[in-house]
Structure 1
Amino acid sequence: MNSKKGTHKKVTKIGVLTSGGDSPGMNACIRAVVRTSRYYGMDVFGIVRGYQGMLDSDINEMDSRSVANIIQRGGTILKTARCLEFYEPQGRKKAYENLKKKGIDGLVIIGGDGSFRGAQLFSNEYDIPCIGIPGTIDKDIAGTDFTIGFDTAVNTAIESIDKIRDTADAHDRLFIIEVMGRDAGYIALHSGIATGAEHILIPERKTDMEALVASLEEKEKRKKLVNLVVVAEGDEFGGGNEVAKTIKSRLPNLDVRVAILGHIQRGGSPTCLDRLIASRMGYSAVECLMEGKHNVMVGIMNNRMHYTPLNNAVKAKQKVSEEWMKIVKILAS
C-alpha cells in the first residue's frame, strides 16, 4: 500500500485538489479536508485547477474561513481542469518541485479514476502519500457504494424525467431521454427505475434493439401509449438521437421525441446524502494521512469506511447486478 520507499515521514502540510469532471458535493469535501486538517494543527493548501495548478504553482494556504458558506454550493471552489502535461515525467517533476517549495508532504485528490491514475504515478515517483476521494456523478469506481455527486445527479435526472412524463402523457408520446454516463449506466439505471421507465439502455449491457422494437409494438397494440426509454449517453447503440432514429424507422406511427438532459445533471446544490458522504470522506482522508495509510481511495461500503489501494480503484469498475436488470424488466411490463 505504501509507495516503493516504504517508510514515510509524518505528514504536516496537506494539499487538496479537485480533478476531472466536477460533481455536486466537492465543495463539502474540500471544507471537510480543510477543517479536519486545521483541527489537527496541520497546514492545508488548496491547489487550483487540479494537476494544472500544481504545474502553475497556483497553490494557496487555506483556513476555516476559506471554506465558510460553501457546503451547499455545486461545482468546486478550487476549480478543475484536464492536464495532459502531468502525465509526462517532466510535468510531474515540475509539480513536485512546486509542492516542495510550499513544504506540502501529503495530497488529497477528489476526482475520478483518471485523477487516481495520475496520483498513483506521482506518488510512486516522488514518495508523496496520496489519498483519493471518489468525486464523480457516474458512480463508476469500485470500492465504494457511493461517489460524491451521484445522488444529486440522479435526483436532478428524476425531477426532469417526471416533468417529461407529464407532457408524454398529455400527448401519448414516446420519449427517449438521454442521461449522462459515457462508460457507466448507473444514472440511467437508477433514474429509469425511479421514474418507471419502460426500457433502460446502458453501456454495460448489449442493447437488443429487436426486443425493444417488439416490446414497443406490443405496447402500441394494447394502447399503452406513454412510454419512456432512458438511455445512457455511452450506450453502445448510440445516444438518444440514434435510438430514436432507429425506432422511428421501424415504427413510423409512433410519435417520438428526444430529450437530452446534458450538463444540467452536473450542477446544483448537493443533496443531503452527497453532503454527508463528502464530509465523511474528507474527514477520513485526513485521518488516513495522519495514521500512515497511503495511496488508498477512501470509500464507503455497507455504511463503513472502506480503503482500496489506489491502483485497484483505478482498474476496477463497478458491476451492474443481474437483479437490477430483472427488476427493470418486471416493473416495466
Structure 2
Amino acid sequence: MATTRLTPCELETVKLNLFSGADLQPLLEEQQAYWSKYLHWSFNSTKQLVIHNLNMRNLNGVVLTKAGRPIGYSFFIQEGCKALIGDLFLSAAYRDKSTERFLLKTILHWAAEHPGVQRIEGQLLTLSLSLQNESIHGRPLQIFRRLFMMTNGLDYPLKPCPTRSYLQFTPWADHYLDAAAHLIAHTYRNHVDSLINDQYHSYDGARRFLYNTSHHSGCGTFHQPAALVAIYTPSREICGVCLASVVESQVGHVTQLCVAPHVAGQGLGYELLRRSLNAFRESGCEAVGLTVTESNNRATHLYESVGFRTIHRFQAFTWEAHEYLTAPDLHQKTN
C-alpha cells in the first residue's frame, strides 16, 4: 500500500479523551489485523480494553487526525512518577517516518509534562522509526534494541538436558509469587533489562509484574500448563522460573525466563524452556514467541539453540527527568 506523506500543517492532535471507542473503531480494527498478520498475536482483548477506557474517558493520550479523520493514536498510563507509553499506532496509508516521529514526539512531550511524571518507559512493537539521539526537554532517551523471536519447531519434543540432582521442577502456582519476586529482583540487579523496566528494581515491582502477567491479559492469556519453577532442594528456594501465555489460537508466548546466578550455566535455563515448549506442544500450540534484549547474548544463543528465530526488531526506550539511570556492571542473563 502506498503511503501518503503528510506535512505537520496537515495534521492535528486532539486529546484522546474527546473520542469514544466507536470513533476509533476502524483504526483499532486495522491495528488488530496488523498484530495478527505480523506478530501472530491477537489484539482483541487489548482492543476491547482500549475501547472500554475510551468510553470511560480516562485515557491520557492524543489522536492524530487529518481533515478531522483519526489516522493514528497514542496513550500513556501513569504509575506513580512513571508514565508507561501504552501504545502508538498509525494507519498504514500514513505510516511514514516523519509522521511516526511527529506522533511519538507529541506523546513523549505530553507525558513528560504531565504532573508528577519523572520517568517514561516504552516498548512499541509497531513503531518502524529507528530512534537515535532523541531527547525531551534536553534530557536524552536511552534506546535499547529488542528482538521478537518465534519458533515453529514444536513437531517433536526437545531432548532433556541432564541437570543436577538438587534441582526439582514443579508447576507454577500463586504461592510462588513472593519467592519468584525476590528471585527476579535479585537476578536482574545491574542487568540491562532493569533499565528498560523499573519493576525489576525491587521486590514490590517484580511482584506486581508477576501478578499482572499471571492474572491479566496484557501479555496474552496466562497458560499455567507451560509455566513452572525450579527449586534448589538444599534450601527449598526458587532458583528458576518460566511463565507462559497464549496470545492467539495455537500460538504461545514465553513471558518470563529467569535463572538465579548461583545455578547459571548448568543447563537450567534450557531445561525450563524445554519443559515449557513441550507443554505448549501438548496443548496444541504450533508456534511460540518471546522477546529479548538484543545485547543479551546468553539468552539469544539459548533461544536460537532450540529453534527460535528473529521475526521482528523493535526498540525499547526510557527517559529520566533528572539523574540518568546507569548500570556500571551489566551482566548477561537468560531472559
Name the TM-score, length of structure 1 as normaliser. 0.26
Query: Larger % of helix: which?
Result: 1
Q: Decide which structure has the larger Cα Rg and report it.
A: 1
TM-score, normalised via structure 2 length: 0.26
Which structure is higher in strand share?
Answer: 2
Asked which structure has the greater RCO (Cα within 8 Å, sep 6+), the reply is: 1
